[in-house]
Amino acid sequence: MQGLTRKIVGDRWDGAFVARLRRYIEFSASEINDLRGLLEVEHSVRKRRDVVVEGGSHARLSFVKNGVAARYKVLHNGKRQIVNIIVPGDVIGLPGSFLDTTSFAVVALTDMKLEVCALDDYVALAHRRPKFGLALSWLAVHEATTYAEHIVDIGRRTALERVAHFLLEIHDRLAAVGRAAATEFDLPVSQEIMSDALGLSVPHINRMLAELRESGMIALAGRHVSFADIKRLQQLAHFEPVRLTRIPAPSQPSTIIVPKRPVDRTTVDRPAVGRPAVARHVGGRAALAN
């Protein structure tokens, strides 16, 4: 990872990553401080610089504070497929840091600020503070759900539906960390990037955006997108926001009460069948119990 590095200082720390986590679980001030303690440095990465190189080792997690990146793969014929757009609140290194060698590369699409920690340090924190391990697993589920929608994009959605779904998804993810208004946002990527993400040519992307605008569903001013009729746009795109359940609070183990078996008084002192008679002393003499 190339770029400038500085020490993280300050008494208060609460980034886009924490804002995203709090959608699933609450953290105490001491828990947030423990996470902050891992993030000793902040990397500044310039636009078009690689953050992750395909086929290398990347045993760290980078929490995106500002900026946008793309996770991608370049094929032997030189074609590039972008599999995901990375926005503030996302984690670079999920899943790459959990593999022996990374399967995809990540490039900065804008200037970025990343708060970085070693994977081993985060795992150690998760052992001490299991909430952080649970939170990362919830984020992984969110990622998997998003990727599944991208498969549907490429496999079954029409060009118009793909573009509509892309706009809605990026808006929803930015809004989740306070980077977009209710029905408008600044699209952080170019049509060229959209082309490599959606498997469409740049002229085709341009035509689809024009069609959405002419149909009255969106308004465009440069890269500023406004949803003029968000309900129609969602219906067109078959768009459902990803809303995970909150992480359940730990429950107290229930106490199981085993009822006592009633005592049958008719069997008390009765010798079992087949058992020899027991000798007992009566008045100083031995007698046999019936």
Binning pLDDT at 50, 70 and 90, where does residue 289 land?
very low
CATH no. for residue 9?
2.60.120.10
Asked if residue 267 belongs to a domain, the reply is no
60 and 119 belong to one structural domain: yes
185 and 137 belong to one structural domain: no
Asked if residue 215 belongs to a domain, the reply is yes
Region 175-195: mean pLDDT is 96
Q: What is the pLDDT of residue 66?
A: 95
Q: How many domains does the chain have?
A: 2
Binning pLDDT at 50, 70 and 90, where does residue 78 land?
very high
120 and 211 belong to one structural domain: no
Q: What is the pLDDT of residue 19?
A: 86
For 209-216, the CB contacts below 8 A with 24+ separation are 209/163, 211/160, 212/160, 212/163, 212/164, 212/167
Which domain does 224 fall in, by range? 157-248
Among 91, 113, 141, which residue terminates a domain? 141
Binning pLDDT at 50, 70 and 90, where does residue 227 land?
very high
Region 177-184: mean pLDDT is 95
Instruction: Say whether pLDDT at 264 is over 80.
Output: no
Judge whether 220 and 142 are in contact, CB under 8 Å: no
205 and 94 belong to one structural domain: no
> Token pair of 202, please?
């740049």
Asked if residue 254 belongs to a domain, the reply is no
Rounded Cα–Cα distance for residues 32 and 119 (Å): 17
Q: What is the pLDDT of residue 40?
A: 67
Binning pLDDT at 50, 70 and 90, where does residue 38 land?
confident
Binning pLDDT at 50, 70 and 90, where does residue 243 land?
confident
7 and 96 belong to one structural domain: yes
pTM of the model: 0.81
DSSP strands (E only) in 17-100 = 41-45, 50-52, 60-66, 69-74, 80-86, 91-92
Region 186-203: mean pLDDT is 97
